[in-house]
Structure 1
Amino acid sequence: MTAPVAPAVDTSAPVAAGAPPWGLLSVLWVSQNLGIGFLTVGLVAILRSDGASLEELSLVSLLGLAWPLKLLWAPLLDRYGSRRLGHHRSWLLVLQPAMVVALLALLPFGDPAAALGPLVAVCALYVLLSATQDVATDALGVRLLRPQDRGLGNGVQVGASYVGTVLGGGLCVLVYDRAGWAAAVLLLAALTLIALAVVLRFREPERDPRVPGSAAWGALIGVFRRPGVPRWALGVVPLVYGGAAGVYALPSAALVDAGWSLTRIGVVTGVVVSVPAALAGPLAGWLVRRWGRAVVLAAGGVGLAAATAGLVPLLRGAVPLAGTVAALGGFLVAYTALNVVVYTVSMDLCRPATAGTDFTTLTTVPLIAAFLTASAALATAALVGYVASAALWCVVALAGVVLGVGWLRAAPLR
């Protein structure tokens, strides 16, 4: 059996010689997930409480599909930018206030279920702006984080996504329940505006070299031509992400079958279990720096298998509250560790000149895998039951972990 081909990794010094801008990156990563958390968790609960049908709620859920579309225009953010204002900072100076305006455009929808079509259109615009902001933020992360800081940086990124979900999908829903729609929307806009203040104070190091126009879109394919990248990005990552997403697609449906309300499901799955996952992100990032990428990937796989076993009572119809929360929380903690490693290695494989495009391309692959296998897992469950389906997709994830550990052991990333 031949050893995996080691990737060509750029481990040179980052653009910035000083300490990484943790405050900037943290608030930007939280900011982009505030509205997403509100739309995918909070808005679903609000609409359901107002009498929206499941078919209408599925329309809202489709908003998530807009996130991978950023791949189409990510090269623009690498190609164009202001030298005076900072290449990627100049994009953030436009995108961050645009996200605030898009949120404020939700104010007229005091009765969300009464004008669902226009509401979804405004939400779709916000998702596209947020996704584009993510490209600019991740490009800064690739350029400004030193190789030894990338694990912690991506741990912060994953943790920030859960913080955004807790604030947007939890806190804002509580504000809505107590003070109404306008108060919840204004809170979202105000929290998003905080990140703009941080961007205004940030001074981005000059970016050099610039990406030639002919090379901008070529980077979408060019990153896969680097030695070792296809094995990781098209082999390991889809198995890890797809398997984990397949397992996690099952508990929500099982909870509905067990008689839980959608509001209770949303609070538990979107808020309560997000807290330990948010804490696990930075911890996993610190462990990546201390133990290495391969060890944390292996530990995440073991944790995922244990948590999947813990979900068996739920999947068989028994839903003890404490056990269910513990199993779901444990699963998200393990998934977070896997996510941190995937994002860290993706950042390792990026080229500084096309950082936004490369990172977006490499992280879109797992998103697509997650969407596809989540649907496939539910179809599998219809044929063989929840438990057998969960076992199958857990094995898929573990196969990816085993392949990934072998790949990392042969790569200069430890």
Structure 2
Amino acid sequence: MLQQHPVGKRPSPVSVFVAVGGLYVGQSVIGGLTFLGLPAVLRTAGLPLDQIGLLYLVVLPWALKFLWSPYVERYRLPRLGKNRSRRIVAVGVSICASGLLILAYTGPSPVSVAIAVLFVVAMVTATVDIACDGFAVEALAVEHYGWGNAAQVGGSYLGSAIGAGLFLVLVDYFGWKNATTAMAALLISLALPFIFGPAAKAKPETREQIPSIRHALKRPQVRTGLLVAAVYVAAQKWGLAMLGPFLIDYGFDLVTIGALNGMGSMIVGFGGAILGGALVRSFGSSRVLILSIATQTLLLCAFATFSLNRDIAHWMVMTVAIVSSSGVMSIGFVALYACFMGWSDPRQAGVDFTLFQCMDGIVSMAGGLGAGAIAARFGYATSFLIAAGVSMLAAPIILLLMRRHVK
């Protein structure tokens, strides 16, 4: 039985939702800018798809952060003393904002420079995320995990709306430098509720367990959960890796993509996160995961059809894109992240939760690099159909794992 912190030591759940939600928004601003906004900018400038696909190398820190998560967690949770989440977040966000300022002046190309800067930003953001997730799991009671997931996933979509939506609009109207500088200032603002909120009220504690990867991998929930995460992320994310370039090649301009992505993420994505929480509460995580995969399979087949029939109305293409990348994804990931929280040991939540997220990062990076190469050589239709096939195979595998191995 996992030990929970005494209820009296926990901060107000609402204050935790606001604090961690702000950090999740900030992290996703960077992610949306990197993986959705920047690819569209580069494609507009005429860069080939295989070079754009190299941006997914920036996922590498998120895939490997489990290597340093025990050290971050040991620093964050000393054997005797206060929780240091606040210090990690404050320093990390300052470095990330500085990285975006550098990128504002160096520009989006050459791609190698942008990747180098964003790689450093990703390293720091991934480290901050270890502290943020660990703090959320230990600060919230089990009955509040669902709302914690809603704050996480909803904040992620709001951040993506800004990074992939508002950012593109700002680039089109005010230029790269001004738009990227605005994103840096926004990161600082979003971190303030955490820095001056519940994390600032930490009390000294005595802790017996030393966080470690070995402790995590000894638990069957973690081992099987990693398999579930890998299969689910492949089913949901691989097909959407080239969505931004596809929309550009279909005839959409940056302003249209930015505006519709932004509205889609803010309304459909955030709404999907709330709906996902309700569905998980009513029907359970496994059923919601399977439902989202089945729906995504159909939508990927629709994208393959669009790529072969370029006379389909733009409003229909964009509607499917918003439903797929915002609605279905948000519902499914609320269910998946609820599982992550439940499978994590509160005494080293930063390590356990990080392992699950690293599997997400590894599979996402592989899919992004592969999708770019496949789309460049065989076309968008082949890329979407392969992703749909992966989704079809994923559903029964996840169902089997959830029923037999994860309790």
Q: 1:340 aligns with which of 316, 334, 343?
A: 334
Structure 2 alignment gaps of length 5 or more: none
CA distance in structure 1 between the aligned counterparts of 2:242 and 2:51, rounded to whole angstroms = 21
2:387 is equivalent to residue 394 of structure 1? no
CA distance in structure 1 between the aligned counterparts of 2:127 and 2:171, rounded to whole angstroms = 28
Which structure's residues are more often helix, by fraction? 2
- Residue of structure 1 in register with 2:13 after alignment: 19
Query: How well do the aligned residues superpose, as a CA RMSD in angstroms?
Result: 3.4
- Taking a change above 3 Å as real, the CA distance of residues 311 and 140 of structure 1, as seen in their structure-2 partners, is same
Q: State the Cα distance separating 1:376 from its structure 2 match.
A: 5.6
Q: Deviations over 1:298-355 (max 9, x none)?
A: 4324433443454453254354323322323332322322211111111111112211
Q: 2:288 aligns with which of 290, 296, 303?
A: 296
| Conserved? CA contact 1:237–1:400, under 8 Å | no
Q: What letter is aligned with 1:277?
A: G
- Taking a change above 3 Å as real, the CA distance of residues 54 and 172 of structure 1, as seen in their structure-2 partners, is same
Q: Where does 1:230-249 land on structure 2 (aligned, <5 Å)?
A: 230-234=223-227, 236-249=228-241
* TM-score when normalising by structure 1: 0.82
- Taking a change above 3 Å as real, the CA distance of residues 278 and 400 of structure 1, as seen in their structure-2 partners, is farther
Q: Where does 1:4-83 land on structure 2 (aligned, <5 Å)?
A: 16=10, 18-20=12-14, 21-54=16-49, 56-81=51-76
- Residue of structure 1 in register with 2:89 after alignment: 92
2:117 is equivalent to residue 122 of structure 1? yes
Greater mean deviation of Cα atoms: 66-75 or 376-385: 376-385
- Residue of structure 1 in register with 2:152 after alignment: 157
Q: 1:192 aligns with which of 161, 170, 187?
A: 187
| Conserved? CA contact 1:377–1:389, under 8 Å | no
* TM-score when normalising by structure 2: 0.83
Q: Deviations over 1:172-211 (max 9, x none)?
A: 2222222223321221122111133223322344374536
- Taking a change above 3 Å as real, the CA distance of residues 372 and 271 of structure 1, as seen in their structure-2 partners, is same
Q: State the Cα distance separating 1:363 from its structure 2 match.
A: 1.9
Q: 2:359 aligns with which of 365, 371, 389?
A: 365
Q: What letter is aligned with 2:100?
A: L
Q: State the Cα distance separating 1:284 from its structure 2 match.
A: 1.0
Q: State the Cα distance separating 1:273 from its structure 2 match.
A: 4.1
- Taking a change above 3 Å as real, the CA distance of residues 265 and 394 of structure 1, as seen in their structure-2 partners, is farther
| Conserved? CA contact 1:99–1:129, under 8 Å | yes
- Taking a change above 3 Å as real, the CA distance of residues 282 and 55 of structure 1, as seen in their structure-2 partners, is same
Aligned length: 395
- Taking a change above 3 Å as real, the CA distance of residues 400 and 12 of structure 1, as seen in their structure-2 partners, is farther
- Residue of structure 1 in register with 2:99 after alignment: 102
Q: 2:219 aligns with which of 226, 231, 236?
A: 226
CA distance in structure 2 between the aligned counterparts of 1:88 and 1:128, rounded to whole angstroms = 17
- Residue of structure 2 in register with 1:182 after alignment: 177
Q: Where does 1:245-394 land on structure 2 (aligned, <5 Å)?
A: 245-249=237-241, 259-260=250-251, 263=254, 267=258, 270-271=261-262, 273-275=264-266, 276-311=268-303, 313-318=305-310, 319-332=312-325, 333-373=327-367, 382=378, 385=382, 388-394=385-391
- Taking a change above 3 Å as real, the CA distance of residues 209 and 398 of structure 1, as seen in their structure-2 partners, is farther
CA distance in structure 2 between the aligned counterparts of 1:48 and 1:373, rounded to whole angstroms = 19
| Conserved? CA contact 1:41–1:270, under 8 Å | no
CA distance in structure 2 between the aligned counterparts of 1:186 and 1:142, rounded to whole angstroms = 32
Q: State the Cα distance separating 1:403 from its structure 2 match.
A: 2.1
Structure 1 alignment gaps of length 5 or more: 1-7
Matched residue SS, 2:105: coil
| Conserved? CA contact 2:56–2:368, under 8 Å | no
| Conserved? CA contact 1:37–1:164, under 8 Å | yes
Percent identical across equivalent pairs? Answer: 23
| Conserved? CA contact 1:308–1:390, under 8 Å | yes
